[in-house]
Structure 1
Amino acid sequence: MITVQNLSKIYKIYDSPTHRLKEVVFGNIKQLHKEFHALKDVGFEIKEGETIGIVGKNGSGKSTLLKILTGVLNHTSGNVVVNGKISAILELGAGFNVEYSGMENIYLNGTLQGKSRKEIDNILPKILEFAEIGEFIYQPVKTYSSGMFARLAFAVAINVNPDILIVDEALAVGDMKFQTKCFKKFEELKNQGVTILFVGHDVSSIRKFCDRTIWLHQGKLIAFGDTLSVTAEYMEFMNTEDESEPVNKLQIENLKIEEAEAEANIFEQIINRWGSQPNLLKSVQVINEKGRETSVIKHGETIRIKVKFKLPDIADLTNVSVALSIKNTMGLDLLVFTTKDDDEISISEVDVNGEITFEFVNFFVNGDFVLVVAIEDRSHIQPQYFDYIEGAAYIKSISDKQLFGIIHTPVRKQLRK
């Protein structure tokens, strides 16, 4: 278990080395430094066996927090209690001596983890097998690529039998095969009851593996709770141009949403709703082949999703589009449709209120899915949103046959005898 109470970390910033020296010599007669609060009164509790995601913009305090938890940094104030043996992958190469070979670093890191040489000898084959860097294991680490560094660091960290594993974005430098291998190992460690703290910018990975998520911003804890809810708030903040400090909407009411729902009380179970004009989307209907509104769709049937909307109050409508996304329950986009991709449809031709129908064959296998609808401003490279609803509707796909994967589409098969 990890308990953090009122945790703060303050760095003293000096304009020059001279100012630092003067302050040391003359004491507190004159303060010649500025204070930078890397963490401000952060508090949370992590239970044994949980997998916790940590998100936040660069400079939000994520790495500082992990360094304090691992004992690399001392905190300025507050309390930290960590029960269990920690294995951590912080910045790439942290804890490695670049002049040593990979093999020497394995024994160095193992010793720092409290392992005897005999114990390291026993786990060495597993480390080498997972790292897959071949004869480079005998070369100085300073000659390694970032990918080789990540392979070795991860291989060591997961094989010292930790109670708590901390990974700070190290997987981002690995290739797809290595990342897949690492995430499979995450699943194994979760099943073994290992507590995992995973820092990443890839929200889909956070949603897939993490039970709860911490959101940090400028050293402050903005939210800590259900991963889907926290990452939805985080994605909203990251996709808006508002530079003000984010607010934890999980704890306060969103007045804009209340206003929108008062006008159209159909979105009762939304995960999140936001945008510059969050009252444009009026309704979403899922209709089966029989013309009936439903939440259960059959594999292979043609379904229609109707979206009723109101145009935004702007002058240029040529860059407005209506978008539909079908996500899995972990928030990963599986299908995305938008009117911007169709030259035959122009939203600018709508008078005030409009309706768009997306029609397609359901090739999903058995599973639960989340609908996202949005009114987009496509005048920028990165879409901006007038109205965005995650959880506008929920559908369950069923099949009479046993099908595997996520999507099962028709395929042409040829058997040569």
Structure 2
Amino acid sequence: MCQHPGRTSVSLISFQGVSKSYPIYQRPSDRLKELLFLNRRRFHEDFWALRDISFEINRGETFCIVGENGSGKSTLLQIVAGILAPTTGTAQVSGRVSALLELGSGFNPEFSGKDNVYLNAAILGFNRTAVDRIYRQIEEFAEIGDFIHQPVKTYSSGMVVRLAFAVAIHVEPEILIVDEALAVGDIYFRQRCLRKVHEMRNRGVTILFVSHSAGDVKALGDRTMWLDHGRIRALGETDKVVAQYLAAMVEKDSAYLELKAPAPDGGGPQVEAPEVVTTIPNIDHRYGDERAEILGIAVMDRYGQRLPLLRPGEVCVVRISVRAREPIGMPNVGFMLRNHLGVDFAGTNTRREGFELPPMRAGDVYTVDFHLMIPELYPSEFSFSPAIADGTLVSYHMCDWIDNAVTLQMGHSDNPIYGYIHLPCKVELNGRLAATATQEQAEARLA
């Protein structure tokens, strides 16, 4: 992993055995009873939002946190921001913290946007002269117009986020905390915010980022922590942790959905594909219920030769061989294409393409060929992640998924690629304009 400017081994955030509990009362009167007994008797149960959390974040590092709602992410961020204190353990934070937490947190709804800017900056230690120097930048970044002079209670949720983010990034933080607040913003502003986060990351600002968007986490995170019911389920490289988290969510969703399709009977001869791929070049992570398995994957040209390079405009065949270990009533074979950042770029499967595979008996082997026209993509590495599932596009059980089984380099196009992909495009001069131009040319020749 490349070393970003400003990143050092100096720890700015350190959690050692941190736990946080909240008292849960069955009835409102129980709280009063506990006070009357001077807390010598308990009338509540403890709910542990965090349990034995230990980690360190170095200066200049982008540290991401993923997890389901209620897993303790927001509680952890509030401890980092100094809003909450841990019940047990120690939490040490060094440096100026700017936090973008719950929608509108830190804003007085009766004050105007401008007043709240000065108030928030003052809390962080800025005097009025210092705020005067950055106020114009905050106002321009927020882009809420004359509403900056109106009470915050009149703002829409998107306007609150715009102002809150503008303040958070312009108060020169050493630690920036972002907790899913950007989810309520419009696409235009969200992209501006993410670009700003990238800029701050490159300047060496320590960033603590919480998001349900796996793509954003993969694009930003140096390391990622997965919280599950208040405990650390995984902590390490972003790609691996996100893959484990997504796999668990797929398995949980599969368990929730009940499949109604009848399983095939066990009679009849086994099916064996005429051409079977038995090589899997790489396995970063693998998961599924193992009722069926990926035997191999290959990316070939139309003549069956394995491709060393993806060339824009050429046809390739993604060949995937699978075997059923148990009856599979509604087999669905597909793949996901990812870019060099690990972001899901495109994908498809047999059901998505309207091709319904017959049910599989235990021992059946199918080979599926996906014929693709390689689009003009920016030159980078792209990986193929094959999968087989049992069910429909909406309700399914994942049988086998392999992360990044094949990685190939995208070749250079004859012309530049603006952005990520060049869309096939036909250009013509508007008919009326073309007729006018032709008439003018004819008149010019006659003159």
TM-score under structure 2 length normalisation: 0.84
Match in the other structure for 1:15: 26
Identity of aligned residues (%): 40
1:3 corresponds, among 9, 14, 17, to 14
Greater Cα radius of gyration, structure 1 or 2: 2
- Identify the residue that residue 35 of structure 1 maps to in structure 2: 46
CA distance in 1, matches of 2:284, 2:386: 12
Distance across 2 between alignment mates of 1:407 and 1:158: 31
**1: CA distance, partners of 2:180 / 2:312:** 38
**2:311 paired residue number:** 298
Matched, 1:411 2:425: yes
- Equivalent residues of 1:299, 1:365 under 8 A apart: no
Write the deviation string for residues 324-375 of structure 1: whole angstroms up to 9, x where unpaired: 2111133322221211134454333898111011111211331101111111
- Work out whether residues 61 and 219 of structure 1, in 8 Å CA contact, stay in contact via their aligned partners in 2: yes
1:288 aligns with 2:296: no
Q: Work out the CA distance in 2 between the residues paired with 1:400 and 1:290.
A: 22
Give the RMSD, CA atoms, in angstroms: 2.2
**Mean CA deviation greater in 34-43 or 391-400:** 391-400
User: What's the secondary structure of 1:297's corresponding residue?
Assistant: coil
Tell me if 1:357 matches 2:369. Answer: yes
Q: Distance in 2 between matches of 1:369 and 1:210?
A: 19
In structure 2, the partner of 1:386 is 399
Tell which deviates more after alignment, 212-221 or 391-400: 391-400
1:190 aligns with 2:201: yes
Deviation beyond 6 Å, 4+ runs, structure 1: none
For the pair 1:327 / 2:338, whether they are aligned, the reply is yes
Secondary structure of 1:172's aligned partner:
helix
Q: CA deviation at 1:53?
A: 1.0
Is 1:338 the counterpart of 2:343? The answer is no
Which of residues 98, 105, 111 is equivalent to 2:109?
A: 98
2:422 maps to a residue whose letter is H
For residue 359 of structure 2, what is the amino acid of its counterpart?
S
Please give the secondary structure, in 2, of the residue aligned with 1:283: strand
SS at match of 1:78: strand
Aligned residues: 396
Instruction: Give the conservation status (yes or no) of the 8 Å contact 1:2–1:47.
Output: yes
- Is the Cα contact below 8 Å between 2:339 and 2:345 reproduced in 1? yes
Give ranges in structure 1 of 5+ residues lacking alignment: 245-263
Within the candidate set 366, 369, 376, 2:389 is matched to 376
State the partner residue of 2:166. Answer: 155
1:240-298 CA-to-partner distances (Å, cap 9, x unmatched) read 12899xxxxxxxxxxxxxxxxxxx98436322111111651100011135532134222
Q: Which residue pairs with 2:186 in the alignment?
A: 175
| Structure-2 separation of matches of 1:146 and 1:295 | 50
Separation (CA, whole Å) in 2 of partners of 1:305 and 1:222: 34
- The answer on 1:126 being equivalent to 2:140 is no
Match of 1:108 among 100, 119, 127: 119
Q: Distance in 2 between matches of 1:124 and 1:99?
A: 20
- The answer to whether the 8 Å contact 1:37/1:219 transfers is yes
Counterparts of 1:4 and 1:349 in 2: how far apart (Å)?
50
Q: Is the 8 A contact 2:281 2:406 kept in 1?
A: no
In 1, are the aligned partners of 2:13 and 2:94 still within 8 Å (CA)?
yes
Partner SS, residue 148 of structure 2: helix
Per the alignment, in what secondary structure is the counterpart of residue 381 of structure 1? coil
Match of 2:70 in 1: 59
Cα gap change, 1:281/1:34 in structure 2, threshold over 3 Å: closer, same or farther? same
1:50 is aligned to 61
Counterpart AA for 1:41: D
8 Å contact kept, 1:86–1:162: yes
Task: State the alpha-carbon separation in 2 of the partners of residues 138 and 237 from structure 1.
Answer: 47
Indicate how the Cα distance of structure 1 residues 26 and 400 shifts in structure 2: closer, same or farther if over 3 A, else same. closer
1:12 deviation in Å? Answer: 1.3
Q: Is the contact between residue 312 and residue 386 of structure 1 (CA under 8 Å) also seen in structure 2?
A: no
5+ residue gaps, structure 2, are: 1-11, 256-276, 438-447
Q: Residue 309 in 1 paired to residue 322 in 2?
A: yes
Deviation at 1:196, TM superposition (A): 0.6
Q: TM-score, normalised on structure 1?
A: 0.90
- Is 2:220 aligned against 1:209? yes
Structure 1 residue 300: Cα displacement = 1.8
- The one-letter amino acid paired with 1:133 is I
- Note if contact 1:321-1:347 (Cα within 8 Å) is conserved in structure 2: no
Deviation (angstroms), 1:139: 0.9
Which letter maps to 2:115? E
* Alpha-carbon distance in structure 1 between the residues aligned to 2:354 and 2:281: 34
CA contact (8 A) 1:97 1:105 kept: yes
1:409 deviates by 4.2
Check the 8 A contact 1:289/1:301 in 2, yes or no: no
Out of 273, 276, 279, the residue aligned to residue 286 of structure 2 is 273
Q: Which moved more, 1:168-177 or 1:6-15?
A: 6-15
Question: 2:397, 2:360 → 1: CA distance?
Answer: 21
* Correspondence for 1:136: 147
